[in-house]
A and B are shown apart, each in its own frame.
Chain A
Amino acid sequence: MNQENKRKIILIDDNAILRTIFGYMLQGFSDYPIEFHPFKNALDALDFLDTHDISASLGQPILFVDINMPFMTGWELMDVLEDKSDFINQTKIFIISSSTSKSDQEQLENYPFISDFILKPFGKELLYEILRQSC
């Protein structure tokens, strides 16, 4: 019951340090309760999404996805999600990457369901703003 009222935040990034920092940042956010699920690769995340209902009364779930990861890149994950229209309709999706390459910017246009592209490094203010805006 308790979990029902927490907003689900999912981070998919192969960099363990980022996952840790991200977790610390979320701990400092006190507007509403959050349930944080970090994954080091997209396959593990997909396994989780297949077996868990992440919908909650409190705001849409949010996915933060890195691009450059082993086994399945962020873009490949987008290809998988693209077909799950129910999921992308009720989920906010953000790309987080240190890439400034043109090809990654162009890729973004192929997935209109992505809310925004967040460039690493980013501060917790930006993260909090996103959490507040996309309530």
Chain B
Amino acid sequence: MHLQRDSLSTPSAQTQRSELEGLITTSEDGTILHLNSRACELLALDDNESKGKKLHELITFYSSEDASALSAEHSPFQIALNNNQVHQETILGIAIEDSFRWFVFHITPFTEENKSRLLLSFIDVSKLVNQNQALKDKQHQLQLLVASLNDIVFEVSDMGVFKNYWTNDPSLLFYPPEEFLNKSLIELFPADLAIPTIQLIQNSLKLDREFKMEFQSPSEQHKDRWYSLQIKPIHRTQNRVALVVSDITKQIESTEKIRFNEHKFNQAFHFSGLGIALTNLDGYCIESNHTLTKILGYTQEEMSTIKFSYNTHPDDVERDIELHRKLIQGEIESFTIQRRYRHKLGHFVWCSVTIAAVFDNANMPLFLIVQVQDISESKKNIEILKRQKIESDLVKIDLETKVRQLEEFANILAHNLKGPLSNMPMLIDELKISKDEKVKADFLDLLKISSEQLTETLHDLGEILELRSNKSLVFENCYFNDVYLKVKQQYIEEIQLKNATISVEFNVKHIHYPKIYLESILSNLISNSLRFTAPDKAPHIEISTSMVEDGTLLTVRDNGLGINLPKYKSQLFMFKKVFHRGFESKGIGLFLTRYQVESLGGKIDVQSEPNEGSVFSVKFLERT
């Protein structure tokens, strides 16, 4: 071909007939002088129209390097003319419609009639170029692929000899390439790794299938690294395989971790002292543990067919709706409430329930973890403790009252008995030695008065002691209004005399109480209010009852003298204490009242200021 072309001076019949080669001769400035039909065909030119026209004006050629359009000056044609050199195998493209057509050009400058000419001969190599391009692309893709992998790929012979390798990161290789290429696995690795690998390679080749194994790093330094080895037969070269080595340490570790966590969760789930259930969002049990069965009586199979909330005590159903919503929406991580569940046998069990939600990666709730603790025992214990505390509080109050009463009796003994008693020996001594009959008579009178006083005090004390042994007291339903009307009758004279008014408001109509006590209490309080009246005001007494925290409260309010409480409160309810000078008073009334109230567990209190009146309040502890 080359010879033929070289020998051409003008297009010969031979070349014009050529089926494959396009031939064109041009003048120095590119004007087409001759062209054969193949050239017309290949370049899509019209034979008649093209002659005499400049080639570069008819066709734009493209570089095969980067598919860029070439200008007339930079075209290989011009360069060949300029250098007067033959250019062989120059590949140029032309654009036909959307695709390139590629040609290999032989450009031969020659001289004819002292004029420079160019002979261009070319054949269509589009197919080759395109194939080449596809290969290049594939190679590029392969490179990208290798670069994107963290694996190392080796080509290995059937005897385990390394022939080639591909890796993105050469530092991943066990050895520098020159140390392992063309060496056998046996030479490079310990036998316990090399021998099984070679066996797998041979099996893989024999059976034409893939094998896989995992191994720990043979190097002491990297003992904790794990690798996976894939052996793939490379089909066309019967005795070659590809070894793909991947670092799977991380997977191994995370698998281990997952396995461990799963194990942990399983252990925790099944052997927990808490009843645990996994439920779907509708509350159906997916899985439950044995403890839950123990608490609620349902087997795990039974649990899975009923809605968890179905067994909630009707009173407790509403309690967690809002919390449940917040949980599902991820506003809270978990919540704990106390509620009652119906046991399979029908009774209710008090439980402390903690519910947490599990979300997927997209933050959608997947299921709920429900932890149930049977707290009925501790509920019961708390109730018992509470009751015991109330009981012991009552005993304590009772004991404190008794201790105080004992102290008071000691005081009464010292002051109210010893005092008058001590007068008597003094009187008797005087009587013994006195010679004055008048004095003697006076002293005998005094002795009589002393003995009378003593008797009276003893009588009062007896009354109080009577109160202490209240076993014979009869509790009955006492209507405040009835008792009030009866007591008022006793004081009708005093009320009229002092022009007193009494208003009543019994919000609590009646109590269960010893009637004689209630009469005595009300009588003493009314008597007090009527006695210690302010001289400048008409006495007014308000009596009312009301329900308070743990009992009935009776209050008697007056507008009388009042009491200087900071000074006298400690003595107010004491035996024979009087606080108002100029009134006839034994000072036993409030003491008695207090005794009656306290002996049945109640309390009496007073609020008052001098000249502002007093409010006495009695809190009854009702015994039902």
Contacts and interface: CB of A to CB of B under 8 A. Distances in A.
Nearest to A70: B578
Given A15-B420, A15-B423, A99-B414, A124 B450 contact: no
Given A98-B418, A120-B419, A121-B423, A21 B410 contact: no
Given A71-B579, A98-B421, A21 B415 contact: no
Given A41-B581, A98-B421, 20 more contacts: A17-B420, A17-B446, A17-B449, A17-B453, A18-B423, A21-B427, A24-B430, A25-B430, A43-B581, A67-B415, A68-B415, A98-B415, A98-B418, A98-B419, A101-B411, A120-B418, A120-B426, A121-B422, A122-B426, A124-B430
A128 to B, nearest CB: 13
What 6 pairs between A and B have smallest CB-CB spacing? Answer: A120-B422, A98-B418, A68-B415, A121-B422, A98-B422, A121-B425
A100 B421 CA distance: 14
A90 interface: no
A17 B423 contact: yes
A112 interface: no
Contacts of A68: 414-415, 419
Given A21-B427, A21-B430, A101-B414, A71 B422 contact: no
Contacts of B411: 101
Contacts of B587: 70
A24 B427 CA distance: 10
Nearest to A43: B581
A33 B422 CA distance: 28
B73 interface: no
Contacts of A17: 420, 423, 427, 446, 449-450, 453
B429 interface: yes
Interface size class of B (residues with CB under 8 A): 20 to 34
Contact of A98 (B414, B430, B439): B414
Contacts of A43: 581
B410 A15 contact: no
Contacts of A100: 414, 418
B404 to A, nearest CB: 14
A108 B149 CA distance: 103
Given A68-B419, A98-B415, A21 B426 contact: yes
A110 interface: no
Interface in A83-135: 98-101, 120-124
B492 to A, nearest CB: 30
Interface in B410-442: 410-411, 414-415, 418-427, 429-430, 439, 442
Interface in B441-478: 442-443, 446, 449-450, 453
A20 interface: yes
Given A17-B420, A20-B446, A98-B414, A71 B581 contact: yes
21 contacts: A17-B420, A17-B446, A20-B442, A21-B430, A21-B443, A24-B443, A41-B581, A71-B578, A71-B581, A98-B418, A98-B419, A98-B421, A100-B414, A101-B410, A101-B411, A120-B419, A120-B422, A120-B426, A123-B426, A124-B429, A124-B430
Nearest to A119: B422
B419 A15 contact: yes
A121 B581 contact: no
Contacts of A98: 414-415, 418-419, 421-422
Nearest to A27: B439
A101 B410 CA distance: 9
A124 B430 CA distance: 9
B22 to A, nearest CB: 140
B577 interface: yes
A123 B450 contact: no
A79 to B, nearest CB: 12
Contacts of B425: 121
A43 B449 CA distance: 25
A77 B236 CA distance: 127
Nearest to A66: B419
A123 B450 CA distance: 17
Nearest to A44: B581
A123 B429 contact: yes
A79 B423 CA distance: 27
A121 B424 CA distance: 8
Interface in B485-524: none
B577 A70 contact: yes
Interface string B546-577: 00000000000000000000000000000001
A8 to B, nearest CB: 22
Given A98-B418, A99-B414, A21 B581 contact: no
Contacts of A21: 423, 426-427, 430, 443, 446
Interface string A22-50: 00110000000000000001010000000
Contacts of A24: 430, 439, 442-443
Contacts of B450: 17
A114 B410 CA distance: 25
Contacts of A120: 418-419, 422-423, 426
A47 to B, nearest CB: 11
Nearest to B414: A99
Given A17-B446, A101-B410, A70 B423 contact: no
A25 B577 CA distance: 29
A10 to B, nearest CB: 19
Contacts of A123: 426, 429
A63 B505 CA distance: 53
Nearest to A68: B415
Interface string A58-77: 00000000011011000000
Contacts of B446: 17, 20-21
A27 to B, nearest CB: 9
A74 B442 CA distance: 28
Nearest to B447: A17
In this complex, the member of B414, B439, B443, B449 whose beta carbon has the largest number of chain A beta carbons within 10 angstroms is: B414
B415 A99 contact: yes
Interface in B373-431: 410-411, 414-415, 418-427, 429-430
Contacts of B439: 24
A24 B447 CA distance: 14
A121 B426 contact: yes
B256 to A, nearest CB: 80
A10 B427 CA distance: 20
A101 B423 CA distance: 18
B193 to A, nearest CB: 98
A15 to B, nearest CB: 6
A132 to B, nearest CB: 19
Nearest to B446: A17
Contacts of A124: 429-430
B430 A99 contact: no
Interface string B37-73: 0000000000000000000000000000000000000
